[in-house]
Amino acid sequence: MDSLRHLAAHLGLDLAAVCLLTFAIYYPRHRRRDLVPAYLALNVALFTVVAALAEVGGNGGTALGFGLFGVLSIIRLRSDSVQHEEVAYYFTTLVLGLICGLPHLAFSLAAALSALLLLVIYGADHPRLLARSRRTVVTLDAVHSDPAALRADLARRLGEPLNWTVMEVDFVRDLTVVDVRYREPEPGADTRRAEPSETVRAAAPAWEAA
């Protein structure tokens, strides 16, 4: 009976932690409903498997549980639809299920470790942390042989470039594909660009205005 109450307490801790992670931190920030059941199901499934394998004891249950954790991680990371920050949530759900599913781990220690995980993911993915830093892949309608010219073009289109990698250069179509990390302009900054029509009028011969 004591063992059953201990398992129920750990299950309640796990459900509380993963619900906080999913519904209080992840979904309000990223709004991807399709990953909510994935996180919940993976967490509870790993908790169930670890708790069941712990009963195997000396027959390799713990090693098999860690092996299952690794296999699940590798399979899920093959999905192209998951962003890097969402991978962090994915690993956190797995670790929560693993920690809470260990029946011989003291409840107070499991609660402390779970709280630490939630605190770290809350702070690391906070919207105010590096709020203006962005990453995108852009296709430029020009080929720049001078890095300074490329930087100026990226700054004109996006903001202050922090780092970039040229992924593709097409001399036939005069295109450049760039993976760029940049900082968005400050709110209220003048981001206006010269319109093509204004450039044409400025370069027009004087006799056309007559």
Q: What domain range includes position 32?
A: 2-124
Residue 205 lies in a domain: no
Stretch 52-73: mean pLDDT, rounded?
61
What's residue 182's pLDDT? 85
What's residue 32's pLDDT? 87
SS (H, E, C) 6-58: HHHHHHHHHHHHHHHHHHHHHHHHHCCCCHHHHHHHHHHHHHHHHHHHHCCHH
Residue 53 lies in a domain: yes
Indicate the average pLDDT of the chain.
78
Residue 199 lies in a domain: no
| Total of domains in the chain | 2
Q: Do 120 and 140 share a structural domain? A: no
Residue 200 lies in a domain: no
Q: Do 39 and 89 share a structural domain? A: yes
What's residue 70's pLDDT? 62
pLDDT in tens, 167-206: 888 888 888 999 888 887 776 655 444 333 333 333 333 3
Q: Do 7 and 47 share a structural domain? A: yes
Q: Do 138 and 111 share a structural domain? A: no
Q: Do 112 and 169 share a structural domain? A: no
**Which stretch of 2-11, 55-64, 94-103, 156-165 has the lowest confidence by average pLDDT?**
55-64
pLDDT in tens, 63-88: 655 666 665 655 555 555 667 778 88
Residue 179 lies in a domain: yes
Q: Do 47 and 109 share a structural domain? A: yes
Closest to 105 measured CA to CA, from 8, 10, 2: 10
Q: Do 61 and 15 share a structural domain? A: yes
pTM, to two decimals = 0.66
Q: Which of 84, 101, 124 is a domain's end point?
A: 124
List b or e across 167-187, with b for residues whose CB sees 16 or more CB atoms inside 10 angstroms: eeeeeeeeebebebebbeeee
Q: Is the pLDDT of residue 128 over 70?
A: yes
Q: Do 52 and 95 share a structural domain? A: yes
Percent of the chain with pLDDT over 70: 72
Residue 162 lies in a domain: yes
Residue 83 lies in a domain: yes
Stretch 149-170: mean pLDDT, rounded?
87
Q: Do 157 and 82 share a structural domain? A: no
Q: Do 84 and 159 share a structural domain? A: no
Which stretches does DSSP call E strand in 35-132? none
User: Please, what is the end-to-end C-alpha distance for the chain in angstroms?
Assistant: 99
What's residue 135's pLDDT? 80
Q: Do 55 and 140 share a structural domain? A: no
* Local confidence band at 141 (pLDDT 50, 70, 90 cut-offs): confident
What's residue 57's pLDDT? 62
Q: Which residues contact 20 (CB under 8 A, 6 or more apart)?
A: 118
pLDDT in tens, 26-39: 999 888 888 899 89
Q: Is the pLDDT of residue 109 over 60?
A: yes
Rounded Cα–Cα distance for residues 171 and 187 (Å): 37
Stretch 46-62: mean pLDDT, rounded?
71
Residue 151 lies in a domain: yes
Higher-pLDDT residue of 57, 160: 160
Q: Do 151 and 113 share a structural domain? A: no
